[in-house]
Amino acid sequence: MGSVAGVQELCLGANVFGWTADRDSSFAVLDAFVDAGGSMIDTADSYMWRAPGNSGGESETILGEWMAARGNRDRIVLATKVGSLPDRKGLSGDNIAAAARDSLRRLRTDRIDLYWAHRDDPDTAQEETLDAFDALVRDGSVRAIGASNFSADRIRSALEISSRDSLTAFTAVQPHYNLMERDEFETVLAPLIESEQLACFPYYALAKGFLTGKYRPGGAATDSPRAEGARAYLDSRGQAVLAGLDEIAAGHEVPVASVALAWLAAQPAITAPIASARTTDQLGEILPMRTLALTDDERRLLAYLSATS
């Protein structure tokens, strides 16, 4: 990924496409993201099989149709995942090869820029998994590979195997990390990421929507079916974080969500946070993070307010 001075990278999460965002809404969000200078989009073959009437691959299909319609594949840094779709579960060699073919067909492309192992598969030897990924890289259908939802120990062992066997190694990780979820990442994963010089793209960067500021005590949004995850953060610590975000957002005249993302992007181990938007209005709440420079005092304040001990 390239970078522009003064601009922080943002990876657009495509989990809502084909779920809470239909084809037209998805196209509008994607157009606006690219028009604003964005390039990296993160999806998965399993998005969103849980939604009524879906079977998986809906997000990839929409992305493929959009890139074909716009003729912009070469402008996009495209990431997708394997291992969580019920019909393509796990990281066996045969499954990775078949899933990659399926994803390439839905995405209407000849290569995946970053192919994630969606989650660890303890029932498959890491040697088999890495052999399969290496074969995809060697034939040109995958450019780089990454580990999503892996423990530090399993990332470390995978790197050792790749080095020992001269196989393509994981170059990126995708962990759960945000202002409200810090301890495990900062104490265990971040040191490994920095020492191994891995790219890091945290998911749930807005804490399941809590860090947008929409979910507050007594607010109507807390009654939304999608608010269950956000409600878990509505304790005294969460309310203190929201108050800090409100103050900083007002000072910069930007949305609360963009402040939370700017804090995350400024952390030493982070390459770019992943955030999704189902409408162009929601996208407008997160795009300002790309040029938002928080002061040292503002970053320290949010770190203090979100600390768990």
Average pLDDT over residues 163-184: 98
| pLDDT tens track for 216-228 | 887 655 555 456 7
| pLDDT tens track for 16-28 | 999 999 999 999 9
The single-letter DSSP state of residue 21 is B
**Where along the chain do its domains lie?**
11-210+254-292
CATH number given to 11-210+254-292: 3.20.20.100
Selected catalytic residue, list 47, 177, 203, 204: 47
- 47 catalytic residue (yes or no): yes
> What is the overall mean pLDDT for the chain?
95
Smallest CA-to-CA distance from 12 within 291, 215, 290, 228 is with: 290
Does 130 score more than 70 pLDDT? yes
Confidence at residue 221, expressed as pLDDT on a 0 to 100 scale: 57
Average pLDDT over residues 55-75: 98
* Sheet with 199-200, side-by-side order of all strands: 199-200, 170-174, 145-148, 114-117, 77-82, 40-42, 11-13, 274-276
Does 29 score more than 50 pLDDT? yes
Count Cα neighbours of 108 within 13 Å in the Cβ-side half-sphere.
Answer: 16
Confidence at residue 4, expressed as pLDDT on a 0 to 100 scale: 53
Beta bridge partners, 41, equal 12, 78
pTM of the prediction? 0.95
| pLDDT tens track for 135-148 | 999 999 999 999 99
Confidence at residue 2, expressed as pLDDT on a 0 to 100 scale: 46
